[in-house]
Structure 1
């Protein structure tokens, strides 16, 4: 089977061949993150401190990095298939940008749901979608989908997405977040 690959938005805005000034790669297991949610916070705080110490980033910027890593790793863990699979977290520092790349494996259904959500976010009015989503929370407890809306709404961030079919019910999803730490 030939892998079907679909990309959205700013995927590979910074090509892989461009050498970063600093680089951190972590491989995580969704089961570890799901069984101990605090671990996601520990990973995100660690990554923020790692880059913060090296580049003398302020607390606001470190919080920005931590929040984005937390959201991306949490989503990757929550929707991973299988639960004992792997999540790759790859962070690279380029002068005024931090590139955060999260890759995991999801089911056909999860890929479809996420891809549909991403298409809506990329073409919709973020402010309106955010407030509509908040209003819908009054009648239901499901907060799914609000994380990306918050990040687009509140931070100087650009995203790229890639969906790659590996098998009929096995899809590799890669999310790239580009954080402009000078603007923040």
Structure 2
């Protein structure tokens, strides 16, 4: 469950980078300039500050994810059937991330309560994302070079695999369970020995 929540936060990485770019207010001055102070700078940039914190958390969670998936893997299994389902990254991006950018986050709760609604929507999406095991549809992982496959092997049928490798039928893969029927996989060294 903890890994799913961390991957959900990582999936929002793009959203918070775009929010930072959209909302950051940097005071510009060309003559007779004076620093406005850290407090005023922070108060003018609450959303960008929250965005940067979440982006930094995303970095931490990504390196934690890499550490978790680098651990022991299973014995190699041969891929008997494969379907590339990378399009599911785009589904998450278009369905959730892009519409969230339309919120006007000015923290003026008396006016339309946009910021409150934004964070409530993020929490609801997060609950759905974690409860339905859709954490693998992560657009950030796609940007970082991961692929999603629905694979059948000699021992399993129609299982979701996340991999940095491009996998094809008849390849041998090693995998590690992430949750339920979702695994992280990479090509086995057995592939190399077959080629030589």
Task: Name the TM-score class by shorter chain.
Answer: under 0.3
* Higher RCO (CA-CA < 8 Å; seq separation 6+): 1
Normalised by the size of structure 1, how large is the TM-score?
A: 0.25
Structure with bigger gyration radius? 2
Compare the two structures and name the one with the higher helix fraction.
Answer: 2
Compare the two structures and name the one with the higher strand fraction.
Answer: 1
